[in-house]
Each structure stands twice: as C-alpha cells, then as structure tokens.
Structure 1
C-alpha cells in the first residue's frame, strides 16, 4: 500500500492524504429557495445582496475570515501529519462564464469521491455546481497517472425538465459514505438520485461492493448532513432525516442522536481523522462532550462561515488515502 496513494477503506480509517477545498463562491443571480432549501433562514438572510456576485467582492471582510477558517482547519490536519492537496483557483474566464448561474470552488467532497482504489467524478445537480470538478481535475489526472487506480466519471446527466424531475444520473460525494465493502448513498431530491445510485451499484458490483440507497428528508442536501460514521460501532445521526429508517447494517451501532434543526446546521458534518480523533465546530461542544466520554479526542475550530454557505468539515475535504496499515 505504501507505493499506492489512492485508497479509501472507510469513513474513519486513518486519514493520510486529502484534497482540501479553496474558498471561492458566487451565488446565482437569482436564488431559488426551493432548490436551496437545505440552507437555513439565517444563511439565506446573511447572503442577501450577494446575488450574482463573488463573495470576495460582495463581502471582502467575510471572505478573509472564511480563508482563515480553512487555514486553521489545515493546521489541525497538519498536526496529524495528513498530506494536503489544494485545487487551483478559478480563472477570470470561468468566473465570467458562471456569472448568471453562479460558481462554486469550496466543496471538494462532492464533485468526486474515492471508493477503494477508484476515483469517480460525480454528476452535480445544482446548476452553479455543474463544473465544480474543473479546479480539481488536474489533481485527479496526476494521481491516476502515478497510482494503481481506476479513474472514471458518472455518465453525462440529462438535465431536461424541471429541477425535481431531471433524470440525471446525479451522484455527489456528500451522499457517498464508505464502510469497507458497503457503500451508503443518500437521495433527498436535491443531489444524488436513484439513477445515479443504479449506475454506481452496477459498476461497483464488479468489485464485490454493495450499494445501499438511503432516502432522505427534503431539507437535507446530502447523507453526510444526517450521518457521521465516527468509528467502528459509533455514529452521530439525525434519525428524523431518514425516510425509511437507519440502514440495517448500522441499526445496532451506538448512536449520538441530533435533531433535524441541528442537522441543518451541519452538526453531523465533522471529520474523523481516525477512530480516535474527530474534528468539529466549536459551536458543537455538546457533541464533543459525548464523543469524549466514548474515548474520542475532539479537535475544535470555528467553521461558522463555511457552514453558512452550506458545507462543513467533511464537505470541504475529499480523502485520497484512508486505510489501516
């Protein structure tokens, strides 16, 4: 495994290499509250006046604080000797092209994901996120050249029809949770859909994986906004977010339960560094205290601005290497 730097075994296997997102975001010129319903009212209010603008231009002081959040998070990752790769910044041309629909370069989790030795480019549903993989693609190309892995992409999506009836397939990394040979994929109507899950299931079945579809509450964007696999046998979970109960494999796990309201604040979107260390926002001391009682060391840092834009620690990272030696 030392010669191969692409492998993800589970959500909590020791994190060794990761892509950490940049901090670039422009809202669409017109915000559709129906498709952005995963954002809290506080978030929508805070973003008023920024429609069609880069956050750096609309709120420069906020942009600076946002970048500091990433720097502080990066220091925690470095503390545990995690190798960090960063996407490139968007070009001027990319920003001009995305002015109407908006653009996003701050979610490394969703535009691609890694399962075992497979790098898979996703298919994004929200219009301003369609090209989110582009600032990351050079990393994926380099990594696939250097390592023994498969590198492929979800089929191009059929985007005809209204937002909630587009066929796709859609598949986003925030919906994909890896637990050894079982892969959980959420679907709320806002991101990944059944067609994307069918494609993934058919592909991964060739490599001994099973894929479990997890229907979600429509105010939950991704599965990782409702479920965090902290370590083997322990999870943080919003049971209200699951339309068809918790997946069977996880029913006997020890659980720390949270409300739907807290799930929307991304309380489950912390990041395990390994089974002994978990990163979360300093606002979520109540979760941290419960984890500490269960033998987990908790690292706190302020990630309020990132969360206000709809993504926390897991959302802004995508592991390239997570395995037990």
Structure 2
C-alpha cells in the first residue's frame, strides 16, 4: 500500500537516503546562503571533488548516521528501503555542476496515494531521483496508486542566477496535512510555477494547495517548521514572510530562533504520535516534546546537518497512515 495521510501518522514504510555528494566546480555563491559558514568554506575549498575523497573520515561518520537512523526506525517496526548508489556514468554526466544522492525527501514525495517526482532547482540535484527509480518499480508500480512527475524545468541562461522559470517543486517544501498541502517558497527551491502545477494535479483529488512564503535564508518549509503530532509542532516564526500559516493558529508550538532553524532544529522525524526522532544538539527541544508524553529518540546527525538537511530531509515515506 502507498499512502501518506499527514506528517505524523504512524510511519510504516520509508525510503532512507544514501550518503553521496560531489562538489560543484562552478558555484553560485548566493545559493549557499542557507548553509553555515563552515559548510560554505568547505564547498569553496573542495571544488570538483567527491566528499569521500575530501573527507574520508567524515564520510564514514556520515554513513554511520544513516545506519543508526535505520536501526532506530526498524526498532519501531518501520520497513526501510535504500536507494542504489550513483553510477560512474551519472557522476560523469554531472560535469561541473556536481552531484548528490543525499536527501531523498526532495526529488520525490508522497501525498495520499500519489507518488510525485519533483523538479529540483539546484543543478547538482537534478538527477537525484535516478537512484530511487528502482524502488519505484519494485514498490510503487505494483500498487494501486498514482505515479507522476512534475514537468522538467526550463533551461536557464548561463548568467541567470534564478536558474530559470522552473517549475521547481521539492519535497522539503511540501507539508501534507490531510486534504491541505503547504508548499514553501524562499527563492532557493520550490516556486510559484511548481505550486501551481501541484494545485492543478492534486486539486482533482480534492486537495487544497497553499503557498507559504519563506525568508531567503531558509531552504525549505521543513527547515522552518516541523509537525510532531496532531496539534503540536516546532516552529521558527521569523522564517515566514507573512507569519506562520493560519492553519496552525490553534496548535501548541515549541518555538526556536533563526540560528536554531538554520541548524535544522525543526527537521526532526515523527515515527508515530508517540515517538519522535531528533539530534542530541536539540535536547532542549526533545525535553519539551517529552513533556507531552512523547518518547524522544536521539541520533547524532551533525554531518548530515552540515549539508543543510536532517532527519526529515533524509527520509521519504511511502506509507504513513493511521
């Protein structure tokens, strides 16, 4: 069965990212504005290298982070699927743009019984869906569900820092809340054209799509808020141009500042309404979550977070229901 009811229903089947990254040779500096200063310096220093080559010890720790997350998920009965690795041909085809196979949340997403391939804005991520395609064939094709792809983005002029008209639509910006879908827009990822396409498609199934404007230093909507269970969330109010979405007015909120949001404080992962995963760096958030009777599991995710993503970014549910 393929179905995602919302962000916090019991997680039963999930895709967990691999840990592959190739530094671009050509860098658009403005597109790094969501990262910590140390990560920006690292990208500039290691242009054209594979992360494994540049940081062999960190590579091992990075892979171990995902292994430990897999173990925690399986402890709570979640079936965990892994994408394959990038092929040499796929890495070669990336050229100067670099490559990524590290945050499976973004290149595709699941809403209800619809599996949708996204349309990535960053050039190094535009082929990131390819390692997931075998999972689509094995897990999605046999099921009674829809499987579609967002239109591929238009080709931009070389000096176009916006990277073109899109449409851009990335899973980190897509928050599912019953029949309401929120789509973030900071100028770094999903855009109006992407949200309009999603509205056109999902509207036929009775879903409402609402665009949420984010400040330009936030990559995705899930870097600004995270749903823990029905009525409880962690949120950075300063990340929203127009204030937090009105749909959450009556929710209880754990507030974090912009510095914490940039460090991925909102990007935890609910396994069920009773279990929530976060990084020990955010134990102060975990303590507040635990006060609501929710068990908090901690996994050190510092390497993953240095790339601008964390637990939600590293996972994509295929079944989250009940």
Q: For residue 152 of structure 1, what is the aligned residue in structure 2?
A: 148
The structure 1 residue matched to 2:270, chosen from 256, 269, 272, is 272
DSSP-derived class of the 1:178 partner: strand
Q: Are 1:216 and 2:214 an aligned pair? A: yes
* Residues 278, 297 of structure 1: 8 Å contact kept: yes
User: 2:89, 2:150 → 1: CA distance?
Assistant: 26
The structure 2 residue matched to 1:136, chosen from 114, 119, 132, is 132
User: 2:165, 2:41 → 1: CA distance?
Assistant: 31
User: 2:210, 2:307 → 1: CA distance?
Assistant: 28
What is the CA deviation profile of residues 270-298 of structure 1, one whole-angstrom value per residue up to 9, with x for unaligned ones? 00001111100011111001101111110
Is the alpha carbon distance of 1:33 and 1:101 closer, same or farther for their aligned partners in structure 2, counting shifts above 3 Å? same
Q: Are 1:90 and 2:86 an aligned pair? A: yes
Q: For residue 107 of structure 1, what is the aligned residue in structure 2?
A: 103
Q: For residue 242 of structure 2, what is the aligned residue in structure 1?
A: 244
Written as runs of structure 1 = structure 2, the 5 A alignment for 1:299-310 is: 299-310=297-308
DSSP-derived class of the 2:155 partner: coil
User: 1:290, 1:192 → 2: CA distance?
Assistant: 31
**Structure 1: 5+ residue stretches without partners:** none
User: 1:299, 1:48 → 2: CA distance?
Assistant: 34
TM-score, length-scaled by structure 2: 0.97
User: 2:272, 2:128 → 1: CA distance?
Assistant: 28
The structure 2 residue matched to 1:284, chosen from 272, 282, 307, is 282
**Structure 2: 5+ residue stretches without partners:** none
Q: For residue 66 of structure 1, what is the aligned residue in structure 2?
A: 62
User: 1:205, 1:96 → 2: CA distance?
Assistant: 39
Q: For residue 19 of structure 1, what is the aligned residue in structure 2?
A: 15
User: 2:289, 2:115 → 1: CA distance?
Assistant: 31
* Residues 26, 99 of structure 1: 8 Å contact kept: no
* TM superposition shift of 1:47: 4.1
User: 1:141, 1:125 → 2: CA distance?
Assistant: 25
Greater displacement, 42-51 / 98-107: 42-51
User: 2:272, 2:77 → 1: CA distance?
Assistant: 12
* Residues 8, 322 of structure 1: 8 Å contact kept: yes
User: 2:26, 2:62 → 1: CA distance?
Assistant: 23
Written as runs of structure 1 = structure 2, the 5 A alignment for 1:34-45 is: 34-45=30-41
Aligned pairs, number: 320
* TM superposition shift of 1:187: 0.4
